[in-house]
A = this chain, B = another copy of it.
Amino acid sequence: MNGAEIVVRTLISQGIDLCLANPGTSEMHFLAAMDTQPGLRLVLALHENVATGAADGFARIAGRPASTLLHLGPGLANGLSNLHNASRALSPVMNIVGDHAVAHRRLDAPLTSDIEALARTVGVSTCTAQPGSDIAGATASMIAQARGPVPGVATLLLPADTAWSEAPEHAVMPRAAARPSPPEASALDAAAAALRQPGAVLFLGFGALRGQALEAAGRIAAATGAALLGQTTSPVLDRGAGRVCVERLPFASDAALRRLAAVPAMVLAGARAPVAFFARPEQPGQLWPPGCRMVELAAPHDDALRALTMLAEHIGAAASADVRRYPAKLAHEAESWIGQALASSMAEDTILVDEALTHAVAIASATAAAAPHLCLQNMGGSIGYGAPAATGAALAAPGRPVIAVIGDGSAMYTIQALWTQAREKLPVITLIVANQAYRILELEAARMGVRDPGRAMENDPHASPLREVRCPPGGLSHLGSGPAMRNDPHASPLREVRCPPRGPLSHLGSGPAMRNALHIGAPDLDFVKLAEGMGVPGRRVRNAAQLAEALAEGQRLHGPMLIQADV
């Protein structure tokens, strides 16, 4: 048995059955091994960032790792940004990268590079399987590292001569992932005391936003009066009608600072203490106020269900408490026709992949009252996660509907994912929110004081940041008054833009660099043609009725579809 066969056999014995691949010459023996050692399914991606992003999506839904198969340093580099996102999502990924034969490396052939250095930037662990070593042991060890206790990306480098050489077969036992410790009694006491302070926040992330953990959090909030606040993004959240209502910390750091300004205490349940996505001049990066009491009940990788259940028991939060839940119908008109159509069309248990950026909050507001669903969000901030993650999620849950809502700029990063969806006949609807701009950067420019960074788009209420920065009423008080919106104030980041002071750039209108960099129209992107080019049928819609019709059509297909929603 050669080294490649030993790796494949070990992957299978440790419960890995999916390999998301874009292999090359140095991985050919691995491919051959997959055909002699059946049990590991290969799904091809036309770009490595599709493979790695799919591994992230798969792990989030399946709760276990898939493997990748990438070609040398450049193949890893191509897939690195979605491995970054996976790593930030604590998604277990068994990342397999072929390397030159050991003796070949010092010849510095064209494809030679420092693969380990690349892998270390995203990984919990990296290991090279030397020829003749205990290859099964090295493989099993990397799988265990990927699983945790802090899950993430573990990279196995497989030199070509390790793959093709006969090697001794070492036995490997299946290993259970290490289980994190439960919170100590003192942490429960501290959390209970903190949550009883008026204005306190129970800050939820990762596992705390799922199923029974979320239910326990809802009871704790009802019993203590604390607010339930979710991280700006989380890997998977349970949302929709009847589910416990969770406010989300705004993305914009000025809005987040305002939300937390008067919070006396935060209890972290599966969440990290909140920091700003980006630094800004004259603004702290740490979002909680000085003097705010921070209590960690469960770290992101901890068992949030167990921790929240213990805390609920500790404070005697009754199952019958008056938990605030999303209603079955919004009490107000949805502010986004995309959100409105989505909310009314989504089937129960849909996996909603969110990479809508500036449109995300409006969609989240509208779908709060949709049929119960899962929502996946980008954890690492590197755009191009959505289409690959949707692909992986669909592979993890055969037959379950997946809808990925993606901004046009983000979609262009990993548009190749559509081809894999077509080949694998995955029921993924890709809904492109097409504003033909990097709108989020237009907002940044407006914040910096640049005059009129955006082009005029008369029909799009989200078009001109200038219109939005005309000092709306402060905070969220202008939002609709339905119970969902009171409890789920996913305020539009557009509204969060306060009138900028006359900053250092307020003298600056938008010049050619700013205009060129922010607009991705001219030529406009036709995603229907892009999809059809990869075997995916497409529709283009301009209002809620057309979108609802297209969504209904997509949900009847046994395969992927793309819908371009022009806003």
**Residue positions of A touching B, CB distance < 8 A:** 2, 19, 21, 23-26, 28-29, 31-32, 34-36, 38, 40-44, 46-47, 49, 73-75, 77-78, 80-81, 84-85, 88, 100-101, 103-104, 107-111, 113-114, 117-118, 120-122, 160-161, 164-165, 233, 275-279, 281, 285-286, 379-382, 384, 409, 412-413, 415-416, 419, 422-423, 440-441, 444-445, 448, 450, 504-505, 508, 510-514, 516-517, 520, 522-530, 532-535
Contact = CB atoms under 8 A, between A and B. Distances in A.
Given A77-B81, A441-B25, A514 B279 contact: no
A31 B514 contact: yes
A517 B21 contact: yes
B24 A441 contact: yes
B88 A110 contact: yes
Contact of A103 (B279, B504, B534): B279
15 contacts: A2-B504, A24-B441, A25-B278, A29-B448, A31-B513, A32-B448, A34-B513, A46-B413, A111-B382, A117-B117, A117-B121, A161-B279, A161-B281, A523-B534, A527-B533
B100 A279 contact: yes
Most B Cβ at <10 Å: residue of A36, A109, A120, A524: A109
Given A23-B441, A32-B505, A381 B84 contact: no
Nearest to A21: B517
Copies of this polypeptide in the complex: 2
A171 B418 CA distance: 51
A192 B154 CA distance: 54
B530 A533 contact: yes
Nearest to A43: B516
Contacts of A118: 80, 117-118, 121
Contacts of A535: 523-524, 526
Contacts of A448: 28-29, 32
Nearest to A231: B110
Given A74-B80, A526-B534, 13 more contacts: A29-B448, A32-B445, A35-B511, A42-B516, A47-B412, A73-B121, A107-B285, A109-B278, A111-B277, A111-B380, A160-B278, A412-B419, A533-B533
Contact of A46 (B165, B514, B520): B520
A409 B381 CA distance: 28
B122 A35 contact: no
A517 B276 contact: no
Nearest to A111: B381
A379 B275 contact: no
A275 B277 CA distance: 46
Nearest to A121: B114
Contacts of A379: 110
